[in-house]
């Protein structure tokens, strides 16, 4: 069963009241239980307007934390892994600490500082797949795992819903291992380890188009709540008129019996409200030809969920914030099985040429080479700014360098002294 809770604004008190009524109607005892809240702080910046269609809003996180605190939970962990900088940096930037300061029993769980266990997936979608997963979700520490995804488009996975939100449980290194055309299988395997006990999707303002970091806000005015991850994700797909059969990780998990794939199989409370808010969202656009002044050399064999999606995200970060003209004159070389005439290669200006990924390695002397399969996206942002003729990436304006340095130092100190 999935419940649609109308919610027009980000008011943590209203959200707490409505989620409280939902939980009280299910007669679940949370007294002395340990709760694990997993929001998405994928873009850790302090500008709430910038991230309203990107991150799980802190009003949702705060409201949900308050509900469990008022019902006697022993500990409420708010947990997230690192994206840009350490996890501590994300928490410092989004303002969650100040927002929950008056809520009892809340603790911050920096997943990049927590022990992991190497899990061998039973009957994995990727052969011999093993994943380093948070130990606390496996050893009985956590009574209730609550996923708090933001509904948005995603260049890599098509959509970000509760299954994609699990990606933030594992390290960047683990994420990049299969950040290629096996990404959906990777996501499905992570979901096989442990599914959330409750999903509360932030669809008050949803993100349309190219995510995770450049979605356009759409007011959808609801929370989408349920206990089956697939059922909730299917309801989210229904809201944005996305065929869930086209989202491979949802299809794989449904075939494995985790949950339904068709909206007709989902019992929805308040479906009339859901129907009234339905809107066809634009799918993410992975076309690299975003400006007539860009030259693209793309091999026959190239990963859309890896190098292509990353490249489009970099282009979006420049084009949507500085204007697409800033990309004019750039050349991109990506993919396998690519033959470029020598006379064309000799004409390329090295600092205006991006040679991206292991598959394009043979062309590295003709441009700025980004190694990796796929390349590390944080390193890529720096290289684009420092080694090419592109200007500094506009995302750097959101960085708090004092907080960045401080949280790195705290991270290093706790690694040594284990405080």
Task: Please check the confidence at residue 418 and state whether its pLDDT lies above 80.
Answer: no
Encode pLDDT of 255-313 as tens digits: 999 999 999 999 999 999 999 999 999 999 999 999 999 999 999 999 999 999 999 99
Summarised one tens digit per residue, pLDDT across range 221-266 is 999 999 999 999 999 999 999 999 999 999 999 999 999 999 999 9
Answer CATH for 2-276 from 3.40.50.970, 3.40.228.10, 3.40.50.720, 3.40.50.11440: 3.40.50.11440
Helix (H, G, I), strand (E, B) or coil at 339: coil
Place of tokens 């040679």: 355
| Strand, coil or helix: 3 | strand
Q: Has residue 14 got a pLDDT over 80?
A: yes
Q: Cα separation of 225 and 197, whole Å?
A: 11
> What pLDDT, on the 0 to 100 scale, is given for residue 203?
99
HSE of 140, CA atoms in CB hemisphere, 13 A = 0
Tens-digit pLDDT profile for residues 20-78 = 999 999 989 999 999 999 999 999 999 999 999 999 999 999 999 999 999 999 999 99
pLDDT averaged over the chain?
A: 97
**Contact status, residue 370 vs residue 384, Cβ threshold 8 Å:** no
Contacts of 90 (CB under 8 A, 6+ apart): 41, 44, 80, 82, 83, 84
3-class SS at 334?
A: strand
Residues 6 or more apart whose CB falls under 8 angstroms from that of 227 comprise 1, 197, 198, 199
Domain boundaries of the chain, sorted by first residue? 2-276, 295-398
Q: Is the pLDDT of residue 318 over 70?
A: yes
Angle between helices 58-70 and 12-24 (to 10 degrees): 50
What distance lies between CA 36 and its chain's CA centroid? 18
Does 133 score more than 70 pLDDT?
Answer: yes
Supply the pLDDT for residue 126. 98
Nearest to 132 by CA among 100, 173, 101: 173
Using CB atoms within 10 Å of the CB of residue 34, give its burial: 0 to 12 exposed, 13 to 18 middle, 19+ buried.
Answer: buried
Of 262, 205, 272, nearest to 234 by C-alpha is: 262
Q: Give the whole-angstrom CA distance, residue 232 versus residue 228.
A: 6
> Averaged over 164-186, what is the pLDDT?
96
């Amino acid at each position: 069963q999935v419940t649609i809770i109308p919610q027009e604004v980000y008011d943590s008190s209203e959200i707490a009241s409505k989620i409280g009524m939902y939980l009280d109607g299910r007669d679940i005892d949370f007294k002395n239980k340990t709760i694990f809240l997993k929001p998405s702080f994928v873009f850790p910046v302090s500008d709430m307007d910038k991230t309203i269609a990107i991150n799980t809003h802190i009003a949702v996180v705060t409201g949900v934390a308050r509900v469990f605190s008022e019902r006697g939970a022993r500990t409420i962990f708010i947990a997230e892994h690192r994206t840009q900088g350490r996890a501590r940096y994300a928490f410092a930037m989004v303002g969650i600490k100040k927002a929950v300061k008056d809520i009892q029993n809340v603790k911050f769980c920096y997943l990049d500082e927590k022990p992991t266990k190497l899990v061998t997936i039973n009957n994995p979608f990727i052969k011999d797949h093993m994943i380093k997963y948070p130990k606390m979700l496996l050893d009985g520490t956590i009574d209730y795992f609550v996923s708090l995804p933001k509904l948005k488009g995603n260049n890599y996975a098509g959509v970000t819903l509760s299954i994609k939100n699990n990606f933030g449980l594992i390290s960047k290194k683990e994420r990049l291992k299969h950040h290629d055309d096996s990404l959906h299988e990777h996501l499905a395997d992570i979901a096989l380890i442990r599914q959330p006990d409750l999903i509360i999707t932030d669809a008050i303002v949803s993100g349309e188009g190219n995510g995770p970091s450049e979605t356009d806000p759409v007011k959808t005015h609801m929370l989408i709540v349920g206990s089956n991850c697939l059922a909730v994700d299917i309801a989210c797909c229904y809201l944005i008129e996305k065929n869930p059969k086209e989202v491979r990780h949802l299809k794989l998990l449904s075939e494995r019996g985790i949950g339904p794939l068709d909206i007709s199989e989902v019992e929805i409370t308040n479906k009339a409200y859901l129907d009234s808010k339905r809107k066809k969202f634009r799918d993410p656009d992975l076309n690299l030809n975003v400006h007539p002044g860009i030259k693209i050399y793309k091999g026959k064999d190239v990963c859309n969920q890896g190098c292509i999606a990353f490249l489009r995200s970099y282009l979006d970060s420049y084009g949507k914030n500085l204007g697409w003209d800033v990309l004019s004159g750039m050349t991109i070389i990506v993919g396998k099985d690519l033959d470029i005439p020598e006379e064309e290669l000799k004409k390329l200006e090295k600092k205006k040429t991006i040679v991206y990924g292991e598959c394009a390695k043979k062309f590295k002397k003709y441009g700025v080479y980004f190694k990796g399969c796929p390349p590390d996206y944080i390193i890529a942002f720096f290289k684009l700014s420092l080694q090419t003729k592109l200007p500094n990436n506009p995302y750097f304006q959101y960085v708090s360098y004092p907080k960045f340095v401080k949280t790195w130092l705290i991270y290093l100190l706790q690694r040594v002294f284990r405080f």
